[in-house]
Amino acid sequence: MPEELYNSHDYCTLAEELEKLKLENKALEADYAVSNRELLILQVEISRLNAELARLTALVERLKEDAERLAKYCQHIPDTTCGMSSSGAWNCNCGATEAFYIHRTLMKELE
């Protein structure tokens, strides 16, 4: 069985190479930790943006429904049940006031 013999020079060279590899390993571990932290931050941001997208998508759907309701009242001709309230606001007992109020509320959510 052949045995390899190492002299002191070989041993020193190997020891230096080991230390160099240990330093490289520490640097790689640090880079890995930073990458994981950055990935976690990005995942949280993606989750936040997905939630915001879902909220806005739902709001757009409600605005579409609201637009259909408002279209009905765009051709509204005030009758005897419609008029100004004591506060000076326009008031229609036929439902137009409620439709406009809902629309204003939805538009405020977009701000």
What residue numbers bound the domain in which 60 lies?
8-110
In the chain, alpha helices (H): 8-74, 96-110
Distance CA 94, CA 3 (A): 103
The answer to whether residue 1 sits within a structural domain is no
CB neighbours of residue 66 within 10 Å: 19
pLDDT in tens, 47-97: 999 999 999 999 888 888 877 777 666 555 555 556 555 565 555 656 566
pTM: 0.52
Contacts of 96 (CB under 8 A, 6+ apart): 73, 76, 82
Which residue type sits at 39? L
The answer to whether residue 48 sits within a structural domain is yes
Distance CA 72, CA 88 (A): 24
Q: Taking 60 as the threshold, does the pLDDT of residue 9 lie above it?
A: yes
Q: Taking 90 as the threshold, does the pLDDT of residue 22 lie above it?
A: yes
The answer to whether residue 2 sits within a structural domain is no
Average pLDDT, the chain: 77
How many folded domains does the chain comprise? 1
DSSP state of 87: T
The answer to whether residue 100 sits within a structural domain is yes
The answer to whether residue 30 sits within a structural domain is yes
The CA-based angle 60-63-68, given to 5 degrees, is 135
Q: Taking 80 as the threshold, does the pLDDT of residue 28 lie above it?
A: yes
The tokens describing 25, both together, are 């390993």
Who has greater pLDDT, 68 or 45? 45
The answer to whether residue 24 sits within a structural domain is yes
Q: Taking 50 as the threshold, does the pLDDT of residue 1 lie above it?
A: no
Q: What pLDDT band is residue 14 in, cutting at 50, 70 and 90?
A: confident
The answer to whether residue 78 sits within a structural domain is yes
